[in-house]
Amino acid sequence: MSGATSFLTRWLRPSIDSFLRLFYPEVCQFCFQNKALHEDGYICNFCKKKTDPIESPLCKVCGNMFPGDFAGLKSFICETCRSAPPCFDWARAAVQTGNLPLQAIYKYKYGGCLWVEPWLGELLIDCAAKWITYADWDMIIPVPLHPSKKKKRGFNQAERLGKILSLHTGVALNTELVHRVKNTPTQTRLSPEERINNLKDAFKIFSTQSLSGKRILVVDDVLTTGATCSEVARVLKKEEAEFVCVLTICRGTILMRSGETIQK
């Protein structure tokens, strides 16, 4: 950040905070009991502690947590990733999917509640610090929205989160390399197989920039089956990107019980 930009930010912050207080008192917007400020994302420390971090043991590819003792294994790869490997090299998330993070992301994406962004950015930065060395990466690619969806929503949440990560890590953000050219229906109610078919030919590279040997971080808010990020990775690998990994805020948890797979 340049000195002029930094000065402008410091100069404007009191005005921005005063304006936000007209609509959001200094109270957590999730429990409405404890104090929380704009720089906290209007979420108190008590509510922040309700999230469940992603911890080992987990699949080294998709980053999903699994119960059990895998201490004897150098690396554990889940059955899903063995039978249908994703196109990305690995994916990691900050927290497990749960009521609070999903509620925050829903408010952010669909309610235009940008005040929650500082907390979401904090989670993504913590995830990056845990899993990567910043100097190892050439660029950050946010999962793109189709132009019609971006126009309707007013912004691309992955792009904004990617910018936060870029400013913190110094890894360049590239929002022009990958474009979403197919306005796909929502993935929410689709099966894993339907998600893959839904995303076929959804993304294209619009650049003559060589990706040969490049190491790329793909950023999004939530990873469920991984179909979207895998398709983005596929088009990047097709252009000879060497390594493509994924960082998200939330990751679903797969529980294995009596031979049954349950995805939350």
**Residue 179: predicted pLDDT:** 96
If phi over 0 gives left and psi between -120 and 50 gives alpha, with beta otherwise, what is residue 154?
A: left
Q: What pLDDT score was predicted for residue 15?
A: 53
Would you state the pLDDT for residue 155? 94
Give the mean pLDDT per block of 10 residues along the chain (264 residues): 43 51 79 90 92 90 83 78 96 93 93 93 96 96 95 94 97 96 70 70 90 97 93 96 97 46 36
Q: Which pLDDT does position 19 carry in this prediction?
A: 59
Spell out the residues 6+ positions from residue 46 whose beta carbon is closer than 8 angstroms to its own.
28, 31, 34
- The residues pairing with 211 across neighbouring beta strands, listed in sequence order, are none
- Structural contact between residues 141 and 174, judged by C-beta atoms closer than 8 angstroms: yes
Closest alpha carbon to 166 in 141, 130, 145, 132 = 141
State the pTM of this model: 0.83
DSSP state of 173: B
What the chain holds in terms of domains, given with CATH numbers, is 14-50 (no CATH), 51-263 (3.40.50.2020)
How many CB atoms sit inside 10 A of residue 21's CB? Answer: 12
